[in-house]
Structure 1
């Protein structure tokens, strides 16, 4: 039986293949190693609160230029009502990437802005706009619980890094000093590499 670099118990053959392809792609591009037992406090993030259980399958350290960032293999369980009554349980395997920031940004949510966001903003202007960076503000929806921390922390370097993410459906959440980025789309090796490139860049400059 193959010796996989992640926990495979309970995974389907397709899920194992997706994780293995992702790991191989990351290994070919980055100096990565398993982290061992680290508590990343995923329960602190709103993006995981829609799941009734989150299982961290494995985590990998990206070592680069004296900085560290991480890639997380997660198994997320969700319960949804179905038409005939009752509850169905689903499992979603996802890739998330994480970096620790030097500055405390408070609570921040960043994602590509939708038409609905623009309409809501006309009625309830809660979004943070960066007047000196119209391209960023026109592209991304940013909300935070501490306006001053967010504006000071989301500087030109971080905004440029976010603009360069080669994904059209991702979400960034920051809880104080911890930033995570991920997507609800199915796992692909290319997507995982893009997310890893982003957190490696953020960790080296922030």
Structure 2
């Protein structure tokens, strides 16, 4: 029986294969190692509020002298429908790191046409007048304008702009940053997530 660096109980063979390939690619590119048991307090994130439950299948730390970042292998379970409930399970990869400064509550994702139209009617998006390319590209919602404006520096915004993947979302709850998407695992996209959280952890706004 093959030994895996994550919990395989109840996973489909496809999910096991995707997790395994992703883990191998991460090991080739980064100094990753299993974390052991850590409670990452995932229930605090709105990203998972519509999920029936979220199971942590494996967690790995990317070690750096100036700050650690983490890759999470998740099994996310959904309930679909009202009268006739069906259950759907998805294997996903998310990245997480801890920030020195308190950003408040922040959600960042690619801006859609619907977002732009809603902004004309109910303006609540945080825009940066001095950084039009960022504001034209990303939809940013915050619960503390002062904190977010101070903490989302030019360097931080540049790191977000440099992510080599169009389909992702970032959520920050105070000092904790989470990044990922709801798609099935693609190892190459997981590397982009790892690159970003490592960069944040190494920068002046990262670390604890």
TM-score range, shorter chain: over 0.9
For residue 147 of structure 2, give the secondary structure of its aligned residue in structure 1. Answer: helix
In structure 1, the partner of 2:2 is 2
Offset of 1:81 from its aligned partner? Answer: 1.1
- 1:126 corresponds to 2:124: yes
Question: 5+ unaligned residues in a row in structure 2: which ranges?
Answer: none
Q: CA-to-partner distance for each residue in 1:111-142, whole Å, 9 max, x for gaps?
A: 00000000000000000000110000000000
TM-score by length of 2: 0.96
For residue 67 of structure 1, give the secondary structure of its aligned residue in structure 2. Answer: coil
Deviating runs (4+, > 2 A) in structure 1? none
Q: Following superposition of structure 1 onto structure 2, how do residues 140-179 of structure 1 map, counting pairs within 5 Å?
A: 140-179=138-177
Q: 1:81 & 1:133 partners in 2: Cα distance?
A: 42
Q: CA-to-partner distance for each residue in 1:50-74, whole Å, 9 max, x for gaps?
A: 1011101110000124320000000
- 1:48 corresponds to 2:72: no
Match of 2:195 among 194, 197, 204: 197
**How many positions carry a matched residue from both structures?**
204
TM-score by length of 1: 0.97
The 8 Å contact of residues 66 and 201 in structure 2, kept in 1 or not, is answered as no
Q: 1:163 & 1:54 partners in 2: Cα distance?
A: 28
Question: 5+ unaligned residues in a row in structure 1: which ranges?
Answer: none
Q: 1:47 & 1:13 partners in 2: Cα distance?
A: 26
For residue 66 of structure 1, give the secondary structure of its aligned residue in structure 2. Answer: coil
In structure 1, the partner of 2:13 is 13
Q: 1:65 & 1:28 partners in 2: Cα distance?
A: 19
The 8 Å contact of residues 32 and 60 in structure 2, kept in 1 or not, is answered as yes
